[in-house]
């Protein structure tokens, strides 16, 4: 069935770039999303990309999409301690039915000073 | 702008007691609404979604039910809570256009069953 996979943990030093990776299986996905969850809080939408795009940049965030390999990445430039959180990747489930998402388990990003 | 409100923020309930969690959205009409549960293992499980008043789709068989009595109100209920109902419950909304617009989440309710 459809699945989204992410590595569970990532540790970086403050000021370095962070790259969080995600692989998905549903080749008919139309949108792919990145969300951030701080401890005890809800999920905050960071950015999303349409499947006909290869890249999207928004300030410190860069999303790269490799459709051939079904690989999505989120790069955070100049990572700060405030970026410490869990980052979720999600894809739409079934082309044309955008009401449901398939979620990864999240990557816990630790930023060390 | 659109906002989503979820309450209460935390809740401690005894086993066998009833439950009612409420979620409301402001600033939009005819949204799609969602209830998720996030267990300690981090994964998000979709419980229910609704595309309109009185229209509820259940994703997993469980001890919970959902209702949508008004366009921007979504309620999660249980008649008798189980220990396994503990978790972090999240409400979300997305535009009802089906165009792939992202889901937007409330702050969540932490439910502990004793």
State whether residue A40 sits within 8 Å of chain B by CB: yes
B93 vs B74: CA distance, rounded Å: 10
A12 vs B24: CA distance, rounded Å: 38
Q: Answer for the pair A9, A84: CB distance below 8 angstroms, yes or no.
A: no
| pLDDT for res B99 | 67
CA-to-CA separations, B70 to A54, B26, B34, B94, B111, in angstroms, rounded: 40, 12, 14, 16, 24
Q: Residue A100 pairs with which residues in a beta bridge?
A: none
Query: Which of B6, B32, B100 is opposite residue A92, by nearest beta carbon?
Result: B100
CA-to-CA separations, A71 to A23, B41, B104, in angstroms, rounded: 5, 23, 24
Half-sphere exposure of B34 (CA within 13 A, CB side): 24
- pLDDT band for B98, please (50, 70, 90 cuts): low
- pLDDT band for A96, please (50, 70, 90 cuts): very low
- Tens-digit pLDDT profile for residues B39-90: 876 789 999 999 999 999 988 878 899 999 999 999 999 999 999 999 999 9
State whether residue A97 sits within 8 Å of chain B by CB: yes
In degrees and rounded to multiples of 5, residue A24 shows phi and psi of -135, 165
CA-to-CA separations, B65 to B22, B56, B62, in angstroms, rounded: 12, 9, 8
A65 vs B23: CA distance, rounded Å: 34
The residue length of chain A stands at 113
Spell out which residues of chain A touch residue B41, defining contact as CB-CB under 8 Å: 105
Listed residue (B26, B5, B25) closest to B109, CA to CA: B5
- Find, in chain B, the residue whose alpha carbon is nearest to that of A30: B100
Query: Which of B32, B44, B100 is opposite residue A103, by nearest beta carbon?
Result: B44
Once rounded to an integer, what is the mean pLDDT over residues A59-75?
A: 95
């Amino acid at each position: 069935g459809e699945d989204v996979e992410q590595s569970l943990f990532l540790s970086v030093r403050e000021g370095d770039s962070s790259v969080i990776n995600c692989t998905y299986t549903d080749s008919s996905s139309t949108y792919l999303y990145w969300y951030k969850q701080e401890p005890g809080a809800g999920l905050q939408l960071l950015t999303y990309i349409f499947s006909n795009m290869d890249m999207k940049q928004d300030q410190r965030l860069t999303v790269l999409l490799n459709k051939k390999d079904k690989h999505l990445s989120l790069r955070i430039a100049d990572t700060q301690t405030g970026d410490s959180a869990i980052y979720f990747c999600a894809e739409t489930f079934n082309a044309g039915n955008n009401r449901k998402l398939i979620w990864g388990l999240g990557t816990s990003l630790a930023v060390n000073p | 702008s659109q906002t989503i409100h979820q309450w209460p923020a935390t809740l401690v309930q005894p086993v066998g007691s009833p439950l009612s969690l409420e979620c409301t959205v402001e600033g939009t009409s005819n949204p799609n609404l969602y209830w998720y549960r996030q267990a300690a293992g981090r994964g998000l499980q979709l419980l229910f979604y609704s595309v309109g008043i009185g229209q509820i789709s259940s994703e997993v068989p469980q001890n919970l039910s959902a209702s949508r009595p008004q366009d921007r109100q979504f309620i999660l209920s249980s008649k008798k809570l189980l220990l396994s109902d503990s978790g972090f419950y999240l409400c979300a909304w997305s535009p009802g256009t089906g165009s792939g617009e992202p889901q937007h989440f409330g702050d969540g309710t932490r439910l502990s069953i004793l």
